[in-house]
Amino acid sequence: MNHFRNIDLNLLIYLDALLRERNVTRAAEQLNITQPAMSNGLKRLRNLLNDPLLVRTSEGMVPTERALSMQKQVRQILYSVEEVIQPSRTFTAESSERVFRIMVSDYAASTLMSPLLKALRDQAPKVTIDLMTPSDVSFHDVENGKVDIAINRFDDLPQSFHQKNLWRDDFTCLIHHEHPLIQDYSLENYLAAQHCWVSKTGFGVGIGMTPDAVQKLGWVDEALAKIGHQRRIRVFTRNYHVAMHLAREGLIATLPTRAAELYADNPDLVLRKPPFPIPEIDLQMIWSPLLQHDEGHRWFRQLVADVAAESCK
């Protein structure tokens, strides 16, 4: 305990930022302190722990084994402290004017937000929703509780995040009703047609795509690659509604079924199951441990889960 009394707990905040950013300047910017102050904090940490913690290499600052072994524990300590000192807020849905910030993919926004807003009108008419795209948000924003929940399909998630699967979806092709593929619907003719690619998973700004980058193209193209085929992609988009409109112009759009069914009543379009198997996908909701016990947050994420479950019936 005597040793503990000599520790400045702010150093744990510095260490957490340094291990996430692996860059002194960026870690300082994240905490709104000066670069010299962060450098001094790193020096004090090195003296305290008798370890260099971050070592400069040709690839930038690399954490030592000791630093990596501490990273998860340091994050959990900070979460625990945050939960202890976080002011408790009572929540009454009927009168609350709280703003809930949601990072939501275009797919989830199109299929989930309408029934969610209806439920909010009935149960919490003064609550406001702030919808953000995956390009607006980073892992850090969710981890730090700046974003209440993120709804998307995620390939990789930090172990600290809480998560819940909202639903599972398969795939459907949207095809113009006069497209030749309708008359002879086969895998061969599907591959010969021109296609629109659409996908956006995880967080951050997407990078440019090329038709040959099968490993980056996602569900549909990975499924085709497994059976030794590749489709002819003419347009790449991250917007499901753009893809659905392009289907009216003659491109084939292979989409999650819930998104495709939004256009089921369009007389120009025909919905068909893909002529090859594609694994189903899960829509996930994730949130920060900092918000796990927040009364209003518990209510809101349960509402989202209930709305998603109801839409599956």
Beta bridge partners of 128: 99
Judge whether 99-166+283-311 and 171-206+214-279 match in fold: yes
Residue 136 has a pLDDT of: 86
Nearest Cα neighbor of 123 from 100, 154, 139 is 100
Reading the block at residue 218, the tokens are: 């996602």
Q: Which residue from 267, 269, 273, 268 is spatially nearest to 255, judged by alpha carbons?
A: 273
State the CATH architecture for 9-85.
Answer: Orthogonal Bundle (1.10)
Cα angle 188, 218, 208; round to 5: 105
Lowest model confidence (mean pLDDT) among 78-92, 143-157, 236-250 = 78-92
Stated pTM of the model: 0.71
298: confidence class by pLDDT, cuts 50, 70, 90: very high
- Work out whether the CA dihedral 245, 248, 254, 259 comes out positive or negative: positive
Give how far the C-alpha of residue 216 lies from the chain's centroid of Cα atoms, to the nearest Å: 16
Q: Where are the domains of the chain?
A: 9-85, 99-166+283-311, 171-206+214-279
Domain 99-166+283-311 top-level CATH class: alpha beta
The answer to whether residue 117 scores a pLDDT higher than 50 is: yes
d(CA 176, CA 164): 36
Architecture label for domain 171-206+214-279: 3-Layer(aba) Sandwich (3.40)
Question: pLDDT tens digits, residue range 122-181?
Answer: 999 999 999 998 888 888 888 888 899 999 988 777 777 889 999 999 999 999 999 999
pLDDT digits (tens, 9 = 90+) for 36-56: 888 998 999 999 889 999 998
Residue for token pair 């040959």: 212
Q: How many CB atoms lie within 10 A of CB 231?
A: 19
Q: Tell which residue, 99, 104, 166, has the closest CA to residue 133.
A: 104
Q: Are 272 and 84 in contact (CB under 8 A)?
A: no
